[in-house]
Amino acid sequence: MTTAPSLQRSDIAVEGMTCAACANRIQRSLTKLDGVSEARVNFANGRATVVHDPSVADDQLRIAIERLGYEAPISSDHDEAEQRREADLRRRWIVAIVLGVPVVALSMVPPLQFDGWEWVVAVLATPIVFWCGWGFHRAAWMNLRHGTTTMDTLVSMGTLSAWIWSTVVLVGSIGDDTTDGESGMAGMAMGGDGLHIYYETGAVIITLILIGKWLEIRAKRRSGDAIRALADLGVKTARLEDGTDVPVDALTPGTRFVVRPGEKIATDGRVVDGHSAIDASMVTGEPVPVEVAPGDDVIGATVNTNGSLVVEATRVGSDTALAQIIRLVDEAQGSRAEVQRLADRVAAVFVPVAIGIALLTLLAWLAITGDADEAFTAAVAVLIIACPCALGLATPLGIMVGTGRAAQLGVIIKGGEVLEDTRRIDSIVLDKTGTVTEGRMALVEVVVPDGDPDELLRLAAAVEARSEHPIAQTIAAASPSASPPSVDGFVNRPGIGVSAAVDGVEVRVGRRRLFDTVPANVLAAAASAESQGRTVVFAGRGATAEAVLVVADTVKPTSAEAIAAFHDLGLEVTLLTGDNARTARAVGGAVGVDHVIAEVLPDGKAAEITRLQAAGRRVAMVGDGINDAPALAQADLGIAVGTGADVAIEASDLTIVSGDLRAAADAIALARRTLSTIKGNLFWAFAYNAAAIPLAAFGLLDPMIAAGAMGLSSLFVVTNSLRLRRFRGYRASGSAPASRPSPTTSIRNLETIS
């Protein structure tokens, strides 16, 4: 978000929000304040971001939030607050289940009923309705104060009406023996006037919806994990040239510090002494370490692999590349519009309509019959029938079964909001390294125009085994010899290569300039490999290069099938990578993507996602690295490969546990199926209410029949949700379905962003 120089930004913690409607209410109120230019309230991370004139103090913003009935503490650990709320919800639904099981059993199983069982049910149901359901009643009161209604309103009114009516009927039956010998059916006891009690209705509704809220907050609590994981990547201390360790916060531009082999670089800087190879994959996604020498720039939190360096700090604190990545993830998560729960969206219309019908029923019966008892009975019946019994199962059960099946398939779905995102996705963007490819270097070819490849590889591997360089270790691991030969006189020339005597013969391995003579056929082999974006290492005996060792990141064997599956789902596929264009072109052509965008760093990746979104595309992003985290957060649907970095996983909406890209297609297909199932559940749950409410309003619906119909509605929701357990996915058949031919791959290179 861009702000004018005269404006400032404040982040205010907000506690007490129960749904997306709360966030919208706070946002509207803050926007109306004088001096406020822009306000965004994120329900997921519990924070209000306000752009305002400096004359508007943060305390004024907090007061405006607190006037709405929410809390805005000066200092708040949001994660700790969410943990407390999760624990509170868990405690309440456990109590509700413990007390609710005997309530339902006594109400619905006539053989268990004894004299006075109604009073036992009343005693057990009361703490469920009032203590366990307190959050719904509080939210309903707050909504009433602001003239709005949500599902909390209907839950509160319905359960309180059921409890109040049941209590009035039960207390009114004292001394009335007209119910002797009669048993309730489907949870309804008969009062002395032939009226019914509905204690179990409130108990069941409260319990089911509490469980749904608990599942929701468990997923929502992970929204801040990406930021915390990124912050943990940074270095806490730096070692100065005199050997003194100082906090990283004490570094200023121009300060020089030492980085030993295996250590992380403390902050962004420029090498002033030493040679080494830097593992910068967290930023670039490129698995090949980058050779650095005096004058080269390095990025903080990247790893120095094999040489000692003296680095002069150039950017510190919030100006570093890591800090910028953290900011990008934070802003992308905060700017994303929250998807309101499906039930709440329907309830925005259904709830006020149901309440209105109940009031009209009361007034109509009073006007027509003049009988207050009949009028109240009919009005309460409308509210009770409108209570979302099946609705309480519709969303959470669909999510539980869908996410449970997803877990069996190696897919983690983070919350119900993710499901709706998958429905509108029309484009998918793939990271290359570790997503489409294996993400690790391997020796893929040994080219020896004139000689024995195995012998040259044996000699080269023996020398490389003495080096700590990652590429050297890759070559050493590919040695065809079970017993390594003797190596003497090992010499390491930083940035150039290594040499040693192997079995008395001088062997050199490294860059071209390490050799005095490079034959034309060896040069041609190297050029051919480099044209495919592969890394080339020369090897030879003495001063003449005899072989080309080709190192590359290989394409996963299932990636092409995954691309075909994405096409089958109607998705346009783009390969987005920080790697060079030649490598990207070769990989994209091999797997059949539609477009390739290469040489893009983290902020560029997020910008590309934004560009596609601005063009009207709904974008999914699949990645595995730290460098992918901002793009995953910015995308409409972020999909992380579970074999990659934790930061990428936490910034995503879906996680595929394995490295098989086909699982991403399974994840999208299953998420869409789960959403469809939930919408079917909601339709039938509301259809029951829509059909039953008019009958209740006209006094034509027998309560026992209504209870039976409610039970059938719930049963349908259960069985419909359980159908998700039969989902198989693309991997079940071992291949993707036949898809349309992939269009000619377009290639676009972006300028590397430093």
Rounded Cα gap, residues 650 and 646, in angstroms: 6
Displacement of CA 31 from its chain's centroid (Å): 29
List the structure tokens of 503. 């079995």
Buried b (16+ CB within 10 A) or exposed e, 530-562: beebbbbbbbbbeeebbbbbbbbbebbebbbbb
Using an 8 Å Cβ cutoff, are 406 and 667 in contact? Answer: yes
- At 634 the three-state DSSP class reads helix
Quick count: other Cβ atoms within 10 Å of Cβ 472?
Answer: 24
Structure tokens at 673: 């199926």
The first and second tokens of residue 719, run together, are 């069985």
How is residue 131 annotated by DSSP? Answer: I
Catalytic residue check, 249: no
Task: Please tell me the distance from the alpha carbon of residue 394 to that of residue 740, in angstroms, as a whole number.
Answer: 36
**Alpha-carbon separation of residue 319 from 205, 252, 453, 518 (angstroms):** 51, 11, 49, 45
- Check if the beta carbon of residue 195 is closer than 8 Å to that of residue 71: no
Q: What Rg value do the Cα atoms of the chain yield, rounded? A: 33
Residue type present at position 32: K
CA dihedral 97, 100, 102, 108 (to 10 degrees): -130
Identity at 476, one-letter amino acid code: A
Q: What are residue 201's phi and psi, to 5 degrees? A: -60, -50
Token representation of residue 712: 């059938």
Structural contact between residues 539 and 448, judged by C-beta atoms closer than 8 angstroms? no
d(CA 726, CA 147): 44
Of 89, 338, 336, the closest CA to residue 215 belongs to 89
Q: In DSSP terms, which residues pair with 83 in a beta bridge?
A: none
Neighbours of 290 (CB within 10 A): 17
Residues 269 and 312 sit within 8 Å (Cβ to Cβ) = yes
Give Cα separations from 462 to 221, 448, 473, 540 (angstroms): 51, 17, 10, 13
664: nearest Cα among 409, 417, 488, 459? 409
Long-range contacts, stretch 138-144, CB < 8 angstroms, 24+ apart: 139/18, 139/19, 142/68, 142/69, 143/21
In the block, which residue shows the tokens 């490598």? 583
The token duo for 406 is 């997803």
d(CA 581, CA 632): 22
Q: CA 215 to CA 421: how far, in whole Å?
A: 18
Q: Which of 431, 579, 594, 660 is catalytic?
A: 431
Measured between alpha carbons, how far is residue 669 from residues 303, 569, 571, 617 in Å? Answer: 38, 8, 12, 19
**Could you tell me where the beta strands, DSSP code E, fall in 570-703?**
572-576, 595-598, 619-623, 637-641, 654-656
- Taking a C-beta distance cutoff of 8 angstroms, is the pair 50, 39 a contact? yes
For residue 11, list its beta bridge partners: 49
Token pair 């790697």 is found at 579
Query: Cα separation of 82 and 86, whole Å?
Result: 6
* Half-sphere exposure at residue 584, Cβ-oriented, CA atoms within 13 angstroms: 26
d(CA 399, CA 362): 38
Measured between alpha carbons, how far is 64 from 36 in angstroms, rounded to an integer?
12
Residues that are catalytic: 431
